[in-house]
Amino acid sequence: MLLEEMTRNVEKYSRDPLKGHSRHEKDIPHHLFKLKAATSSRDIRWHFLPRNFSRHKDNTTYLDWKTNVIWWRVEWIFPQGNNIKCVDERLGENVRIGSHVNKYLDPAVCDLSLREHLQFYQSAGLSGVHLMFKAEKVPKAGVWYYELDPALTLKENLAGKCVIEFPTVYVVLEHHKHLFETLDSDEEFEEYDIMSRDFPNKFNGTGRRGFPRTNRNGVVNRGTDKTNNFLFNHPDNSDSSDAEQNVKKPKLDIPPYHVLIKQHKMS
Low-confidence residues in the chain, pLDDT < 70: 1-27, 140-141, 185-267
Q: Of 119, 135, 106, 136, which is closest to residue 78 (Cα–Cα)?
A: 119
Every domain of the chain with CATH number 3.10.20.90 lies at 16-183
16-183: CATH class = alpha beta
Bridge pairing between strands 62-64 and 84-92: unpaired
> What span, in angstroms and rounded, lies between the C-alpha atoms of 14 and 213?
42
pLDDT value at position 204? 38
pLDDT value at position 252? 57
The conformation of residue 40, written as its DSSP 8-state character, comes to: H
CA 113 vs CA 13, 123, 217: distances in Å: 46, 17, 55
Phi, psi of 101 (to 5 degrees): -80, -15
> What span, in angstroms and rounded, lies between the C-alpha atoms of 35 and 126?
31
The conformation of residue 218, written as its DSSP 8-state character, comes to: S
pLDDT value at position 64? 94
Q: Model pTM greater than 0.75?
A: no
pLDDT value at position 142? 73
> What span, in angstroms and rounded, lies between the C-alpha atoms of 6 and 185?
43
Contact 167, 176 (CB under 8 A): no
